[in-house]
Amino acid sequence: MITTSALQVRFGDTTALHPLDLDLPAGRIYGLLGRNGAGKTTLLSTLAGFRRPSGGTVELAGVPVFDDVRATTRICLIRDDGVPGDPTDTLRDNLAMAAILRPGFDTAYAAELMEKFALPRRKTLRTLSRGQRSAFGIVVGLASRADLTMFDEAHLGLDAPSRQLFHDELLRDYLDRPRTVILSTHLIEEQSPLFEQVLILHEGRLLLRADVDELRARGVSVTGPQQVVDDFVFGLTVLAQRRLGPTKEVTVFGGLDDERRALADRYGLQLGPVALQDLFIHLTGGAV
Ligand SMILES: Nc1ncnc2c1ncn2[C@@H]1O[C@H](COP(=O)(O)OP(=O)(O)OP(=O)(O)O)[C@@H](O)[C@H]1O
């Protein structure tokens, strides 16, 4: 369990995180969403003990994370801007160092992942391509098997097959060895199937925390012939609209009562769950 109490981070005049009380029970995958500058990286760095809070505390299972190896060796944060390790060392040496630093590191699993991501063991970290660097970060992040594992936009630069591999491996390994995972991402629709719970940060505050299923039920997608859909959603809060030839899909905010559902059925309209991205844009005040 990771717990924050009145956690606050300021950079000069900028308050990146307003006092935040948060408890994240262990053994779940959390999605951390927020617009640019919302405070996601600041929060994750502080949870990892990389940054001293301006106020308040962060504890992992009761142990303060800042400057305490009892907690930091159980935490792994993979950031978008680089892999933990020495850029002038080979990947092989960097993996050996990770194994020394992290008690839960699984060398055999790291070797398996290196193969799967086709990473060159003899190359130095700094000579890797952008996507290869991300892939190496993911290898370290997964093989560390840390109690608290966080990926901060760690997929940046990865091609689609590698992102799929990341998802598959994360899910497989998590199911074998449940731990707490936080994924910060702007690829909401792509990564949301992994989330059990979503946290939305907005302007340094926690705007929303909800289970994914509950969130998807906060809106409805309505699909059918354009004119019929337009008539049906008249007066409702429209979050997004998409056209595909004569067919239209409209996402509306809020649930539909039984009467409206019966009406949709009579008109032959299809109803489905809301796309998290549409809801996210609506909740964080973006343009539709
Ligand atoms: N080292 C720093 N010095 C000054 N201000 C900072 C520093 N790091 C972050 N900030 C500010 O803190 C706020 C939160 O930044 P943060 O990087 O946590 O956002 P983010 O949600 O991760 O954004 P993005 O999605 O763009 O990566 C922003 O206003 C940012 O400008």
Quote the pLDDT of residue 68: 84
pLDDT of 218: 87
> 79-83, 238-242, 268-272 — which one is most confidently predicted on average?
268-272
33 closest CA partner among 24, 25, 44: 44
For residue 34, the ligand 1 atom closest to its alpha carbon is 21
Amino acid at 142: L
Contacting residues for 87 by C-beta, under 8 A, at least 6 apart = 124, 125, 126
Stretch 43-70: mean pLDDT: 92
Summarised one tens digit per residue, pLDDT across range 194-204 is 999 999 999 99
Atom of ligand 1 nearest to the CA of 204: 14
Asked if 188 contacts 280 with a C-beta cutoff of 8 angstroms, the reply is yes
Examine the pLDDT at 169 and tell me if it is beyond 80.
yes
Question: Distance between CA 111 and CA 139 in Å, rounded?
Answer: 9
Position 70 pLDDT exceeds 90 = no
Strands (E), the chain: 2-11, 14-24, 29-34, 55-60, 63-64, 75-78, 148-152, 180-184, 197-202, 205-211, 219-225, 238-244, 247-253, 270-273
Q: How confident is the model at residue 82 (pLDDT cuts 50, 70, 90)?
A: low
Alpha-carbon 235 to chain mean position: 34
The residue nearest atom 17 of ligand 1, judged by CA position, is 41
Q: How far is the CA of 233 from the centre of ligand 1 (A)?
A: 38
Give the residue-averaged pLDDT of 229-234. 94
What is the Å distance from ligand 1's center to 40 Cα? 8
The predicted-structure confidence for 94-118, as pLDDT tens digits, reads as follows 999 999 988 899 999 999 999 999 9
Ligand 1 centroid–CA 263 distance in Å is 47
What is the C-alpha to C-alpha distance for residues 156 and 185, in angstroms, rounded to an integer?
A: 10
DSSP string, 129-152: -HHHHHHHHHHHHHHTT-SEEEEE
What count of residues does the chain have? Answer: 288
248 Cα–ligand 1 center, Å: 38
Atom 1, ligand 1: residue with shortest CA distance? 11
Instruction: Work out whether the CA dihedral 108, 109, 110, 114 comes out positive or negative.
Output: positive
Contact 247, 225 (CB under 8 A): yes
For residue range 10-32, what is the model confidence (pLDDT) as tens digits?
A: 999 999 999 999 999 999 999 99
Atom in ligand 1 nearest the alpha carbon of residue 153:
27
Q: Are strands 197-202 and 29-34 parallel, antiparallel or unpaired?
A: parallel
> At residue 71, does pLDDT exceed 80?
yes
Give the pLDDT confidence of 255-270 residue by residue, as tens digits: 888 999 999 999 999 9
- Tell me the C-alpha to C-alpha distance, in Å, between residue 154 and each of 18, 53, 65, 274: 25, 23, 22, 26
Checking if the pLDDT of 251 tops 70, the result is yes
Q: How far is the CA of 63 from the centre of ligand 1 (A)?
A: 26
- Three-state SS for 40? helix
Q: What angle do CA 154, 191, 173 make, to 5 degrees?
A: 75
Determine whether the shortest distance from the Cβ of 34 to ligand 1 is under 6 A: yes
What percent of the chain stands above pLDDT 90? 77
pLDDT tens digits for 119-163? 999 999 999 999 999 999 999 999 999 999 999 999 888 999 999
| pLDDT surpasses 80 at 84 | no
Report the chain's mean pLDDT, rounded to a whole number. Answer: 93
Ligand 1 probe mutation, 18, 35, 40, 191, most atoms within 8 A of CB: 40
Contact 14 CB / ligand 1 (< 6 Å): yes
Q: Which residue has the higher pLDDT, 49 or 282?
A: 49
pLDDT of residue 159: 95
- CA atoms within 13 Å, Cβ hemisphere of 232: 30
